[in-house]
Amino acid sequence: MRHSAFKTAGIWGATIVGFWIVGITPSLAQQKQLVKFEAPPANTKYTEQHSIAVGDVVGHDIRIFENIRTFPKDPLIIGGVPVKEWWTRGFTDFTETNGLATAYHTILMESGDKIFIRVNFVAQSTVSEDGSKKGANNLIAGPITGGTGKFLGIRGMVRLAATFDPKSGYNNSKGEIEYWTEK
């Protein structure tokens, strides 16, 4: 009888250890990674912009836009794969480059896989020493909403700091991507 009790305890112990190990495996897949990057103005181009004056006050426009970022000299690497292009499509509700915006980012990897991000942000125009307005500064944060291929279960957060001027096409960004993979 005593031998049988030890045998049963051993089976239960092995079962508990097995469940504990299986429980750890997904958390290892969810280890967070952090990638920092810069996208200077020379590597960012507005491909489309369309604005409509609202008409209630001077300078109040709604706008849709698309831009592309590339990383020709120092490619951004996510999950061991270089980024080929970073597309942003969004809409703004600005009065003299102050206001609210929503943007959807598609990061196209060299492998053809994609990562998707959605952000909402507030833009504030900047004034230079001579009193002229030089575009806007903003801090942008938003979730990674999904991906394809190798990045199918990707999740995380993107944080950007950008200076931009829709009229001149200037856009300078830097930031970080914190991500993990859910399996």
Residue type at position 135 = G
What is this structure's pTM?
A: 0.80
What is the amino acid identity at position 35?
V
CA distance 12 to 1: 17
Same-domain status, 148 and 160: yes
Closest CA to 99 of 124, 69, 127: 124
- Mean pLDDT is highest, among 36-40, 97-101, 114-118, 135-139, for 114-118
Task: Identify the burial level of 42 via C-beta atoms within 10 angstroms of its C-beta, where 0-12 means exposed, 13-18 middle and 19 or more buried.
Answer: exposed
Within this chain, do residues 88 and 173 fall inside the same structural domain, yes or no? Answer: yes
Tens digit of pLDDT for each residue in 48-93? 999 999 999 999 999 999 999 999 988 899 999 999 999 999 999 9
Question: How many domains, in total, are found in the chain?
Answer: 2
Are residue 73 and residue 59 in the same domain, yes or no?
yes
Q: Looking at the structure, do residues 110 and 45 belong to the same domain, yes or no?
A: yes
Question: Per-residue pLDDT tens for 113-164?
Answer: 999 999 999 999 888 787 777 678 788 899 999 999 999 999 999 999 988 8
Check which CATH number belongs to the domain holding 42 and give it: 2.40.350.10
Cα distance between residue 72 and residue 139, in whole Å = 25
- pLDDT value of residue 117: 97
User: Which residue range is the domain that position 73 belongs to?
Assistant: 31-181
- Judge if 171 and 89 occupy the same domain: yes
Q: Which pLDDT value is given to residue 3?
A: 52
Q: Say how far apart CA 164 and CA 31 lie, in whole Å.
A: 34
